[in-house]
Amino acid sequence: MKKIFFSIITFIAFALFVSPAFASYELEQGPDSYPDLPVDHWAYEAVTFLTDKKVVVGYPDGLYRPDQKVTRGEFSTMVIKALGLYEKDTPEIFDYKDTQNHWANRNIQVASYYGLVKGYPGGYFYPNRDVTRLEALTIILNALSPENINTEQAKHFVSIYKDYSEIPNWALISTGQAQMLGLVYNTPGHETTLEPMRPATRGELARFIFNMMEAVKTIPSEKIKQEQPKPIEPKKADGYILDNVYYDEEYAVIPKGTILPLTINKCLNAKKVQEGEAFIARTPFNFVTREKYLLIPVGVQIDGKVHKVKRPLRFVKNGYMALTTSNILDDKGNPDMKIVAALGERNADMRIIRNDPYLTRTRYNVIHGQNMYIHKGQRVDFVLLEPLRIKIFKEENTDI
């Protein structure tokens, strides 16, 4: 099971900052893996992604050769790798006359079993024949469950191409569906032609597969759906509801600015406390979504420190105390989240002090020299400075 993780960056309370984007995609081998595929190449993104997923590989000389043709056997292998089916054991029930001794026989059998590829009349598969763009689109469409369309609707989708009349009648609807789903990719300079019968290149097929992998997340075929990992319903609990939580695929995201009330283990007095002084905060209850999905359980220990102190003066309301956490632990005991609270500034004071008449009075009476302090065991509102992403939708397995 993948580790749950929270990602956050902390700055001083209420300071200006720029929010970092969520983690961007990076190729483990590095961008220089393929000298013939610069970053501005139209296939770079797809090939980079598929290389990292071990769906495609380069040649021994280090090149990718995006303009090279691909055989039907090679493409069958690429597709089952992309769908996580490469290690699947399936019965060899397809008796193709020309694949028994072929290196891709097992891969072709797997692709056939899941309904991705088909043979030709007479019992032949032709594994060494170049796969055409039309064949490739049909194969990746077989991994999906597209909306049904009729012939007229299909013609509407493909009529943007000057050569759509070259599409065989048997493939018209499937090609229209592929165009409707955005699976088709046309290389620069060829945007107005489909070229359905032309052999597809390694670069084009990478784009086709890349598009398929996005679509299969939401509309997989029945057989592919059975092989996808089943999401486990997140654990539910009663607790403090965070109404502003939203979902990003398998993650629940607590937005920046969310208030999280925590309890403090010691008294912190603005007149005496030292910057850098440590304290421990705890979650006084479960933090849950509106659906009662558990986000952060009760009793989680959060190590923190006094980040900044400004002593209150007798005649000037200028006392200030900022607390920052150094971590919050995930379910594996790893430190992940950083949050901030402040005390003393008017805006912060109004936000974080609740249900405590002493501190409330301090807000108004500090000019008379009252101490500013947080009681031991008191709840203090901490402000989340960056979105907190929590993986709550886990999977039963990771085969695909």
Buried b (16+ CB within 10 A) or exposed e, 292-324: ebbbbeeebebebebbebeebeeeebebbbbbb
Query: Which residues touch 191 (CB under 8 Å, ≥6 apart)?
Result: none
| Every domain of the chain and the residues it spans | 44-227, 240-391
Question: Does the global pTM surpass 0.75?
Answer: no
The pLDDT value given to residue 355:
36
Instruction: Determine the Cα–Cα distance for residues 157 and 178; give it in Å rounded to an integer.
Output: 9
Look-up: residue for tokens 């071990």?
Answer: 54
In tens, the pLDDT along 193-217 reads 999 999 999 999 999 999 999 999 9
Contact 75, 129 (CB under 8 A): no
Instruction: Determine the Cα–Cα distance for residues 158 and 167; give it in Å rounded to an integer.
Output: 9
Phi then psi dihedrals of residue 156, to 5 deg = -60, -40
pLDDT at residue 172 above 50? Answer: yes
What confidence category does residue 21 fall into, taking pLDDT thresholds of 50, 70 and 90? very low
The pLDDT value given to residue 372:
64
Q: Which pair of tokens denotes residue 79? A: 């597709």
Domain 240-391, second-level architecture:
Beta Barrel (2.40)
Read off the pLDDT of each residue in 181-201 and give the average, rounded to a whole number: 94
Look-up: residue for tokens 């620069």?
Answer: 188
Beta bridge partners of 323: 306, 341
- Mean pLDDT, the chain, rounded, equals 78
Instruction: Determine the Cα–Cα distance for residues 172 and 178; give it in Å rounded to an integer.
Output: 10
Contact 77, 107 (CB under 8 A): yes
Coil, strand, or helix at residue 379? strand
Residue type, 105: N
When mean pLDDT is compared across 66-75, 134-143, 151-160, 349-358, the lowest value belongs to 349-358
Beta bridge partners of 221: none
Buried b (16+ CB within 10 A) or exposed e, 58-74: beeeeebebeebbbbbb
Read off the pLDDT of each residue in 321-327 and give the average, rounded to a whole number: 66
- Between CA 141 and CA 93, with CA 138 as vertex, the angle to 5 degrees is 90
Does an H or E element contain 177, and which?
Answer: helix 172-180
What confidence category does residue 395 fall into, taking pLDDT thresholds of 50, 70 and 90? low
Coil, strand, or helix at residue 308? strand
pLDDT at residue 254 above 70? Answer: yes
Closest residue by Cα to residue 4 from 210, 234, 219: 234
pLDDT at residue 347 above 70? Answer: no
When mean pLDDT is compared across 86-95, 222-231, 284-293, the lowest value belongs to 222-231
